[in-house]
Amino acid sequence: ISIEKCQGIWPTEKAFYTIASNIRKYAPSSNDTKILFYWNSAICYADCYNITTAILANTSMQFADDNGDPILKPGNRPYYDHTKPSVRKWWIDAVIKILTTALAQDIIVDGVFVDSLCNNFGSSVSSTRQTEYNQAIVTLMKEAQQAFAEQALDFVLLGNGVNTYSVFPDHCTSALPHLDGVLYEHFGSYDDVNS
């Protein structure tokens, strides 16, 4: 079970702890169920997570287009600039803090559901920079697994974003060696439908 972002209880971290706790409390048969925290690899949902508000104030942590302007999703949601090692470290430290805080409260959680493994910024970002960005997310997954292992954290890392879109030459499969599993959400992508 992946507990999705922006649940109406702010911040999402609080909603996650409450829902995860209640699943274990009211559904004892759920002991074999894996409970995962939703954490987007690319988009900073600063309006949902308390821990991400610092990203809004620090544009150096935000990915920018080729003109140097931060790329924003609706809702003033910037993209993390994972081409920078310091941003990848911040992302990993943040998700570890969220998960270990749950464990410290005796809430059994099992890992993280990582959304947006590959991203397409269109013509606002050169193909070279887009490739570098998506490769940085692969590096992020590798570094997250290393951080879990170094801290003896037995967390599952489930990725979403393996797809059939032709804009991603390897279809995000380069992330597979660093994940414990994937959700293949876009199996009916536009390329498949049109071919």
* Cα 146 from chain centroid (whole Å): 16
161 torsion bin: left (phi>0), alpha (psi -120 to 50), beta (else): left
In terms of Cα–Cα distance, which of 128, 47, 145 is closest to 88? Answer: 145
Burial 23-61 (b: 16+ CB within 10 A, else e): bbeeeeeeeeebbbbbbbbbbbbbbbbebbeebbeeeeb
pLDDT (tens digit, 9 = 90+) per residue, 77-97? 999 999 999 999 999 999 999
Is this prediction's pTM over 0.85? Answer: yes
Q: How many CB atoms lie within 10 A of CB 144?
A: 24
Asked whether the predicted pLDDT for residue 170 surpasses 80, the reply is: no
pLDDT digits (tens, 9 = 90+) for 18-64: 888 888 777 766 667 888 998 999 999 888 888 888 888 899 999 99
